[in-house]
Amino acid sequence: MFEQALSLLKTHFGYSSFRNGQEQAIRSVLSGENTICVMPTGGGKSICYQIPALVLPGTTIVISPLISLMKDQVDTLNQVGIPAAFINSSLSFSEATRKINEAKSGKYKLLYIAPERLESYDFIEDLRQMDIPLVAVDEAHCISQWGHDFRPSYRHIQQMANNLPQKPLVLALTATATPRVREDICHSLQIDQANSIITGFERVNLSFSVIKGQDRLKFLLDYLKKNQREAGIIYAATRKNVDQLYERLRKEQINVARYHAGMGDADRAREQERFLEDKASVMVATSAFGMGIDKSNIRFVVHFQMPKNMESYYQEAGRAGRDGLDSECILLYSSQDVQVQRFLIDQSSDRSRMTQELEKLQLMADYCHTENCLQEFILKYFGETETESCGRCGNCLDSRTRIDVTKEAQMVMSCVIRMGQRFGKNLTAQVLTGSKNKKVTELGFDQLTTYGIMKNQGAKEVGEFIEFLISQELIAIEQGQFPTIFVAPKGKDVLLGKQQVYRREAVQVKQVSKNDPLFESLREVRKSIAEAEQVPPFVIFSDASLKDMCAKQPKTN
């Protein structure tokens, strides 16, 4: 059976060999196993179900959430002589009925359907009258609440498969590799996790970078000037951002297209086409643009603001360089992005997922603040364990030397402890910089020894330094309506002087001398932590109890 697969690859698709993972996926399906195939965007997932569809008798059902792409996919298949059709809400009732009847007569090898169809009892009846060997579930992460695009109707897929007279094989395909999502997919679709085909997520031709502390528009205009005529996507957070950027870039004589959900269908289709056909070199869009698009020569993806989580980011950035040539993925970061995303999460109706969304947002912010390899950060996020620095991302190539910021980290963390580890990042930064804010004084934090010890820094810089400490896992966040920060186990080692902290960006604060209040404060905090080590789990002490305990302690260390 497999030899047939290879010859089909050549005759129908014109490729001489399979890509990494395709052969394994096809073999697994053809040997009769339910299978999950996790490959990065652009990895070639479509072939994994299109070829089995040709080999197996009957009509393969492809579930896809992307109405706008079904037509493209089906047109492409028809062009290479493969009978395929789609059924979704873009068809009139009579067209849909005709397609369904043709499908029942066995005319198509592949039938693409939108998941919402599965909610119709009549449609399930129609499917029961077809010969269905395989159900391919594209963008299968939509089945999981942990994915970035949960679609409740995906939950009906297994029910549908169980209702068919002959139980079909299931092949799930996605580019989202977090173990949690994978488990969810396998569980919902009754796939044995042993039948997972996961190809490496590293995209060796992509170089990632995060740009902070710069005028984003100026950076973008300079960048576009340097990369004229190259194809690229610029993702912006809101429709309004897209419209504004679009107008601005047009003024610069840049050949630009735009795409967001607020535009009419025809407008969007036209703009997408202009970009896909290289008539516009740059696409400015919200995240509504791009899922599943097949344009291989995209040289850069710039995020004008930070997206809401790493899944979305890697999916969007991963649209660069599908042809294997070197391409850039740049994220323009400003700390207000976190607030904007927090606000959006806050506004969304689904309260049950809020904490989880906030945790993901924090990891996204960690990506922006880490000074370690960005590609490695991504791979670890997606569950890869054997990773190493890529040597080509912005952080790997950053030639600035690292500065020892251990003392500054100790100042922050001792302040966090003295505040009782019950408050947020901003208030902590205010206390450290000696703010006269009402809340600071009301809570008596202006009496702490750590009050104002970072006075010569702005609260914003100190806030960013705290973000950096979070990205280094020295400080942790407890998410909620009012997120609070506390010292993580690794942070304790730093407080105890067992571990140093380095950062490329300096945090300039005054030197700590023996008669400085901080010196005393640090000594106390260290002692109290040493004590606390004996009382697992790590107990959080208030400023007062810290002093009490220190007084009782024998003078060791």
Interface mask toward Mg ion for 38-57; x: CB under 5 A: -------x------------
Q: How far is the CB of 37 from ligand ADP (least distance, A)?
A: 9
Question: In this complex, which beta carbon is closest to ligand ADP, that of residue 319 or of residue 425?
Answer: 319
Residue 465: phi and psi, rounded to 5, are -65, -40
Report residue 444: phi and psi, to 5°.
75, 15
- Which residue, 395 or 426, is less far from Zn ion as judged by CB? 395
CB 298 within 8 A of CB 327: yes
In the bound complex, what is the minimum distance in angstroms from residue 483's beta carbon to ligand ADP? 35
Write out 175-206 in H/E/C secondary structure.
CCCCHHHHHHHHHHHCCCHHHEEECCCCCCCE
Contact at 8 Å (CB) between 415 and 450? Answer: yes
Question: In this chain, which stretch among 73-81, 103-111, 286-294, 347-355 interacts with Mg ion, using CB under 5 A?
Answer: 286-294
Q: With binding defined as CB under 5 A, does residue 396 bind Zn ion?
A: yes
Kindly state the smallest distance separating residue 475's Cβ from Mg ion, in Å.
39
* Measured distance CA(235)–CA(317) in Å, rounded: 9
- Cβ proximity to Zn ion, 389 vs 441, nearer residue: 389
The distance between the two most distant Cα atoms of the chain, rounded to a whole number of Å, is 90
Q: Which CB sits closer to ligand ADP, 139 or 328?
A: 139
**Which residue number, 147 or 292, has a Cβ lying nearer to Mg ion?**
292
Which residue's CB is nearer to Zn ion, number 272 or number 375? Answer: 375
Burial letters 252-279, b for 16+ CB under 10 A, else e: eebebbbbbeebeeeebeebbebbbeee
Smallest gap, in angstroms, from Cβ of residue 381 to Mg ion?
Answer: 21
**Residue 477 near which of Zn ion, Mg ion, ligand ADP, none (CB within 5-8 Å, type-dependent):** none
Residue 164 to residues 115, 123, 133: CA-CA distances in angstroms? Answer: 16, 12, 10
Q: Does 373 bind Zn ion (CB under 5 A)?
A: yes
Checking DSSP bridges between strand 60-63 and strand 110-113, what pairing results, if any?
A: parallel
Name 170's bridge partners: 135
* Cβ nearer to Zn ion, comparing 112 with 201: 201
Q: Which does 288 bind (CB under 5 to 8 A by kind): Mg ion, Zn ion, ligand ADP, none?
A: none
Task: Using CB under 6 A, list all residues that contact ligand ADP.
Answer: 15, 18-19, 22, 39, 41-47, 294, 296, 322
CB 182 within 8 A of CB 148: no
> Does residue 331 belong to the site contacting Zn ion (CB under 5 A)?
no
493-to-440, 474, 496, 523 alpha-carbon distances in Å: 28, 9, 5, 14
Q: CB of 110: closest distance to ligand ADP in angstroms?
A: 13
Q: Which does 390 bind (CB under 5 to 8 A by kind): Mg ion, ligand ADP, Zn ion, none?
A: Zn ion
Give me the residues that bind Zn ion (CB under 5 A), please.
373, 375, 389-390, 393, 396
Give me the residues that bind Mg ion (CB under 5 A), please.
45, 292
